[in-house]
Structure 1
Amino acid sequence: MTGQLKLVLAVLLVAQFMLAVDFSILNVALPAIGDGLGFSLTNLQWIATSFALCAAGFTLFFGRIADLVGRKRIFLGSLGLLGVASLVGGLATSPALLIVARVAQGLATAAATPAGLSLLTTSFPEGPLRQKALGLSGALMSAGFTTGAILGGVLTDLLSWRWAFFINVPVALAVLLIAPSVIQESRPTDRPKLDLPGALSVTLGLLGLVYGLTQAGEHGWTDPHAAAGLTVGVLLLVVFYFIERRVTQPLVPLRVLRRRSVVWGNVLGLLAFVTETSLVYLLTLYMQKTLGFSALLAGISFGVLGLGTVAGGLLASKAIAKTSTLTVLVAGGLIQTIFTAALFFLGTSTPSSMALLLPATFFGGVGNMLVIVGFMVTATSGLPDKEQGLATGLATMSQQVGITMGIPIMSAIVTAATMGAATAAAVLDGVTTAIAVNAALVALGVLIAAVFLRTKRQHQHS
């Protein structure tokens, strides 16, 4: 890896890390923001939901726009928007202004993440170098999510929730100053037209799904808003499929979706992000409600998980080079399943529970990261440079939707299991039920990888 490539990698990784931190930094700070700006309890969730809706809904659309306009241009523009939105959020004096800032942050994330990933995959040739770059990117994505949970608690407790916004401003500025001279512009030679009906239907369909899921997490699956959001979301995604079949230059060419590596790679990515991010939520609930930890202490406990994800990210590219992507996907999934299942035995005694929780989250984090890097390599390999924006757009969409879906699904399971009771024992009951479901989802991913990605390799060899 040349000095220039190392510089490109450093700039892109810092940006990806910041985008990942944004996903979780406000989770711990929500009650403080609610008190500070006078949010009602029912509207508090919109601080997280407005961001998630935009970050997940617009990813594919912006991934394609970056292919057309130029990935570097979109990347820099969206980081600029993120810096401004973060400044506005930190200075906000009313709930409305804060929500506007969160929407802008979400749109900036939806544009910057796939553009940054495409710049990464097109700067590094397919093979060991790209695997190493994707490994580091995945490790920092996951570490960023965990760091966000810790940072949110520390900044809110020691300074003010406003610093959870302000922290982005100097990072965005630094990247904007260095990136223009380091990163080459990257766009396909023949520029396809933008498929507007496809872009609208997939964006609105994803918005419907994410909205439905967040409402279900908040009010249960029978909530009319949840049902309406999910129904409209699914219908619009079906419409999207039929549009893509007829358009001459589709947003997502169906031949790309017929590639097993793309389809099953993204399914595994979705499961990896659904399970690990929602596990952080479940364990936060457990540590605060059952063990009586403060937000700060619960946040710091996830430092061990963060170390596990970084270790997994560093290990992944070496393991892929020595064995195969499939081996790493299956091994990582098995490790994550075993250590997630171990958390089913958490109890009400703090010393023995933490003696189980800390090593289990560390090794679970290693396993999860092996799966995430395996998914990134699988979902973006074998496609030409001109389709890297689409490939990374799909991969980012799986990631954002996974992060968004995990918490509402697990929250709905906990609510159903506790029947609304909030005692320490009831919360423990709800959390362990959700952990069992979580482990089952990871095991499903192992099965999918072993069955669907192996047959592809056998066909190639035969």
Structure 2
Amino acid sequence: MTTDTGLTTATEPRATADPATAPAAVPDPSARLSVRARLVLFLLCAAQFAVALDFSILNIALPTLGHDLHLAQANLQWGMTAFALPSGGFLLLFGRIADQIGRRRVFVVGLALFTAASVLATLAWSPESFLAARALQGLGAAAIVPSGMALLTTTFHEGPQRDRAMGVMGSLMALGFTFGMVLGGVLTQTLTWRSTMGLNVVMGALVLVGAPLLLTESRNERRVGFDVPGAIAVTGGLLALIYGLSTAAQSGFGKGTVIGALVAAALLLASFVVIESRTAEPLVSLRILRRPSVAFGNLGGLTTFAMMTAVIFLGTLYLQQVNGLSPMVTGLVFGVMGVVCAVSGNIAPRVVARIGSARTMVVGLLVQGLLTTLLLLVGRGSTGTWVFMLAGSAAAFFHLWAIVSYGVTATSGLPDEEQGVATGLVTTTQQIGMTVGIPLLSAVASARSDALRSAGHSLATATLGGVRLGLGADAALVVLLALTVAVGLRPRKHPTA
């Protein structure tokens, strides 16, 4: 149904065929967006950009912040973990709540909480007040991300319009993460770490003004029961998983609390699957998860987010600890990657339209992995910095193809009443991916670095050896999982409903 606003909404259930495995139709004039449609897309993208920015902007600012607030070096990780825990743990829950009570309502409430928490973070007077503010920011983000994505997928009809909207969204989210590194360095060095949190206040307030004016309410027409046991199991499982992995990044996987958290996560998530298979109104229908487009689309998204986030983390170690670059210069190196992501985000929807979202994702992942292998050539000195910037930017270009296409793939062929759950899965995949890659590959890098230090090598040489091994493992995992996704998304004569 097309309205006079230029937005397209889909009110009928989609066909059961899996459109992600075949090329999309050639874009037609209907893919062009009206002025109001562009404003709606800008508003939704601005909110997602702010969340992605907030996830990474503190990376470089944490040492300065810790000094000012007397936060111990060993506890600096909680500046990131306090945000990641609720933002990843509550995504699926808030996605279902948005489906039931209204996506715009949840979006606005989440945005208000995120903005208010950013004010508290800006004015933080102690470690406890800052970490509480970060947790509230994460809770607001958990409401913003799935409701905003559901508003996008129910507003823009499946096909050229949605492909284009997802392309813009994907590029801005990647820009938010990479530019967070840039802005974190620049703002911390020129102003103070508080300015990194103050930026979120400004962005959140601007979106809050526009949301009631531009967004229309969207919810499921049919009310269903709320799966309380399933909600408790999946939320607890995700919280335990993210806590365990985040803590492992600092203290290793052998610590008792880490092992306990990961075991609890496995048990809770396994119980979630059992609950969902038996309840009449599941939080996440296993029928959705059995769709190849949903299952392997999300696997592709998890892979590209986890591995590129790890590249950025390892690259930060390399640039600062091996080559001695300042936080500002390090941020500018990642800024080049951000610009490349923006360019790729404009190209990716055209590639999706020509060869299909599944093929675009597989190509993006494979080339991302192959280009990551070039980072093994990095060494000490300016030449190594140039190698990292150029090869890393090239990998980031195809990383955006995977980001845009995984969102399209994992939400295609589903009716509007399931879009909230599907987009909740997509955004949960994103958040877990951004959390999982760093501890896994930093553990690999740290083990190698420690071995080299024990053998008598300098700190810079040992760090370089660890970074190279971590990057090699990163590249191998991306290629292996890309091939897995390719097999899982191969065209079928009788798609799973």
Structure 1 residue 386 displacement after superposition: 0.7
Q: What's 2:98 paired with?
A: 66
Q: What's 1:335 paired with?
A: 367
Partner deviation per Cα, 1:133-184 (whole Å, 9 max, x = no partner): 0011000000100010111111111111011111111211111111111111
Which of 401, 405, 424 aligns to 2:432? It is: 401
- Per the alignment, do residues 460 and 204 of structure 1 end up closer, same or farther by CA in structure 2, a change over 3 Å counting? closer
Q: What's 1:103 paired with?
A: 135
Structure 1 residue 348 displacement after superposition: 1.1
Conserved? CA contact 1:63–1:111, under 8 Å: yes
1:92 aligned counterpart, secondary structure: coil
Which of 382, 397, 400 aligns to 1:366? It is: 397
Alignment size in residue pairs:
459
Cα RMSD, aligned residues only: 1.2
Which of 408, 411, 415 aligns to 1:377? It is: 408
Which of 251, 256, 260 aligns to 1:224? It is: 256
1:319 partner letter: V
Q: What's 1:355 paired with?
A: 386
Structure 1 residue 459 displacement after superposition: 4.1
The 2-side partners of 1:245 and 1:329 are apart by 30
Structure 1 residue 56 displacement after superposition: 0.7
Query: Aligned pair 1:323/2:355, yes or no?
Result: yes
Identify, as 1 or 2, the structure richer in helix: 1
Conserved? CA contact 1:332–1:368, under 8 Å: yes
Query: Aligned pair 1:86/2:115, yes or no?
Result: no
Query: Aligned pair 1:173/2:209, yes or no?
Result: no
Q: What's 1:414 paired with?
A: 445
Aligned ranges 1:16-27 → 2 under 5 Å: 16-27=48-59
The 2-side partners of 1:322 and 1:245 are apart by 37
* TM-score, length-scaled by structure 1: 0.97
After superposing the two structures, state which structure 1 stretch, 405-414 or 227-236, moved more.
405-414
The 1-side partners of 2:340 and 2:366 are apart by 15
Partner deviation per Cα, 1:30-49 (whole Å, 9 max, x = no partner): 01110000011222211111
Query: Aligned pair 1:445/2:445, yes or no?
Result: no
Which of 304, 318, 330 aligns to 1:286? It is: 318
After superposing the two structures, state which structure 1 stretch, 190-199 or 232-241, moved more.
190-199
Q: What's 1:132 paired with?
A: 164
Q: What's 2:334 paired with?
A: 302
2:409 partner letter: T
Conserved? CA contact 1:325–1:377, under 8 Å: yes
2:250 partner letter: E
2:371 partner letter: F
Query: Aligned pair 1:253/2:289, yes or no?
Result: no
1:454 aligned counterpart, secondary structure: coil
Conserved? CA contact 1:86–1:169, under 8 Å: yes
The 2-side partners of 1:251 and 1:176 are apart by 29
The 2-side partners of 1:445 and 1:310 are apart by 25
* TM-score, length-scaled by structure 2: 0.91
Conserved? CA contact 2:358–2:406, under 8 Å: no
Conserved? CA contact 1:265–1:376, under 8 Å: yes
Conserved? CA contact 1:308–1:364, under 8 Å: no
Structure 1 residue 460 displacement after superposition: 5.1
1:92 partner letter: A
The 2-side partners of 1:378 and 1:155 are apart by 37
Conserved? CA contact 2:301–2:403, under 8 Å: yes
1:448 partner letter: T
1:191 aligned counterpart, secondary structure: coil
1:387 partner letter: E
Conserved? CA contact 1:215–1:223, under 8 Å: no
The 1-side partners of 2:352 and 2:150 are apart by 21
1:167 aligned counterpart, secondary structure: helix
Query: Aligned pair 1:427/2:463, yes or no?
Result: yes
The 2-side partners of 1:276 and 1:142 are apart by 10
The 2-side partners of 1:310 and 1:440 are apart by 26
Structure 1 residue 330 displacement after superposition: 2.1
Aligned ranges 1:450-461 → 2 under 5 Å: 450-456=486-492, 458-459=493-494
Conserved? CA contact 1:333–1:442, under 8 Å: yes
Conserved? CA contact 1:308–1:361, under 8 Å: no
Structure 1 residue 326 displacement after superposition: 2.4
Conserved? CA contact 2:58–2:184, under 8 Å: yes
The 2-side partners of 1:196 and 1:460 are apart by 31
Q: Which runs of 5+ in 1 are unaligned?
A: none
2:478 partner letter: V
The 2-side partners of 1:309 and 1:194 are apart by 39
Q: What's 1:184 paired with?
A: 216
Conserved? CA contact 2:289–2:295, under 8 Å: yes
